[in-house]
């Protein structure tokens, strides 16, 4: 059966490697796209002058489509222009009004994916021109836009719009993929599982914490809000979370939002170790192509 997301994006397998800030770099994105799914680059905090090189580097490593992601908490028109000039074929937008960015992307011939947390937001995204919507459930890792769980959100969004719906949040194996297909999603958007791809260049201390964590080891809140306040997120519980709770969870304390990449300096265990509840399903480090193959078995 033809899959509407595969047709829209010209991919073989309707799985998207979620954008994950700097952890979703060219190496990971190209490996996922070469395996037939859609890799993405997280460009929200990348200096504008580096964007052309990152997009061109991904293009050089894969002939297949890949995406770029921008968080709309800040003005991103310049970053989007740089990504489109370098030939990015798919643009993912989250955390803000997408309309002007959708128009900018469409003018360059790119497809747009807009993240939503409710049926009403999905209708607004389609009215703004989104080619597909990403329904991100509350169990997701990283910054979490809505408060509804994936099991409820996906079918209400599927019922609300006529564009392909990509389910996000809590999907880490073929069973999760099969489950969101049963809910009507055209595709699956997977973050935490791809943090454990060989091609994902996170710090070894962060990787080991992910491998050891269970589904009860995440924290949801706004504690790591330095630089991006009042934006709820999900991280691994660590010494920073525990010390804050022991101090009575003071509302005025904010820690910096830092994603520890391989070259991070300092106390990595205490940093914001972004992860979804699906971390409890993630058990090993594997090549990205093997992860794509395993997830695809859910279709
Ligand atoms: C380390 C990390 C960083 C993230 N960074 C971004 C980002 O830059 N932009 C974005 O739209 N979503 C970001 N997210 C959210 C993911 O796109 C996705 O919604 C989430 O990972 C799905 O849930 P899962 O982790 O259970 O697969 C991030 C998630 C993680 C785990």
How far is the centre of ligand 1, averaged over its atoms, from the C-alpha of 195 (Å)?
10
pLDDT score, position 2: 86
What is the full DSSP assignment across 4-67?
HHHHHHT-SS-EEEPPBTBTS-HHHHHHHHHTTSBEEEE-TTS-HHHHHHHHHHHHHH-SS-EE
> What's the whole-number mean pLDDT along residues 192-203?
98
Residues in contact with ligand 1 (CB, 6 Å cut-off): 18-21, 23, 42, 44, 69, 71, 94, 115, 136, 140-143, 168-171, 190-192, 195, 259, 274-276, 278
Tokens 């265990």 appear where?
Answer: 269
Where is average pLDDT lowest: 1-5, 18-22, 97-101, 183-187?
A: 1-5
Dist. CA 159–CA 72, nearest whole Å: 26
DSSP-assigned letter for residue 255? -
pLDDT score, position 1: 73
249-283 pLDDT per residue, tens: 999 999 999 999 999 999 999 999 999 999 999 99
pLDDT score, position 155: 98
User: What's the 3-state SS for 162-190?
Assistant: CCCEEEECCCCCHHHHHHHHHCCCCEEEE
pLDDT score, position 249: 97
Joined together, the tokens standing for residue 187 give 């595709």
Count the Cβ atoms, other than its own, within 10 Å of residue 9: 26
> What's the whole-number mean pLDDT along residues 216-233?
96
| 17 neighbors 194 (Cβ within 8 angstroms) | yes
Dist. CA 222–CA 39, nearest whole Å: 28
8-44 pLDDT per residue, tens: 999 999 999 999 999 999 999 999 999 999 999 999 9
Ligand 1: which residue has its CA nearest to atom 6?
A: 20
> What's the whole-number mean pLDDT along residues 174-189?
98
Confidence category of residue 143, pLDDT binned at 50, 70, 90:
very high
Report the predicted TM-score, pTM, of the whole model to 2 decimal places: 0.98
């Amino acid at each position: 059966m033809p899959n509407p997301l595969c047709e829209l994006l010209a991919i073989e397998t309707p799985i998207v490697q979620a954008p994950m800030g700097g952890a979703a770099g060219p190496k990971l994105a190209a490996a996922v796209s070469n395996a037939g799914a859609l890799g993405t680059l997280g460009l929200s905090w990348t200096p504008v002058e580096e964007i052309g090189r990152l997009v061109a580097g991904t293009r050089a490593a894969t002939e297949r489509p890949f995406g770029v992601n921008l968080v709309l908490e800040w003005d991103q028109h310049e970053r989007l222009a740089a990504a489109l000039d370098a030939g990015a074929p798919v643009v993912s937008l989250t955390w803000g009004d997408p309309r002007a960015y959708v128009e900018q992307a469409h003018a360059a011939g790119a497809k747009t994916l807009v993240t939503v947390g409710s049926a009403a937001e999905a209708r607004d995204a389609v009215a703004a021109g989104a080619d597909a919507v990403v329904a991100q459930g509350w169990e997701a890792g990283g910054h979490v836009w809505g408060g509804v769980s994936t099991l409820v959100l996906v079918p209400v969004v599927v019922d609300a719009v006529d564009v392909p719906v990509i389910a996000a949040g809590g999907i880490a194996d073929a069973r999760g993929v099969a489950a969101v297909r049963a809910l009507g999603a055209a595709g699956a958007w997977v973050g935490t599982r791809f943090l454990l791809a060989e091609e994902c260049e996170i710090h070894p201390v962060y990787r080991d914490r992910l491998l050891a964590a269970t589904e009860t080891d995440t924290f949801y809140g706004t504690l790591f809000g330095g630089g991006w306040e009042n934006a709820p997120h999900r991280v691994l519980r660590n010494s920073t979370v525990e010390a804050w709770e022991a101090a009575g969870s003071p509302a005025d304390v904010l820690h910096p939002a830092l994603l520890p990449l391989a070259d991070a300096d300092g106390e990595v265990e205490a940093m914001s170790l972004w992860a979804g509840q699906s971390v409890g399903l993630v058990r090993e480090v594997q090549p990205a192509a093997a992860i794509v193959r395993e997830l695809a078995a859910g279709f």
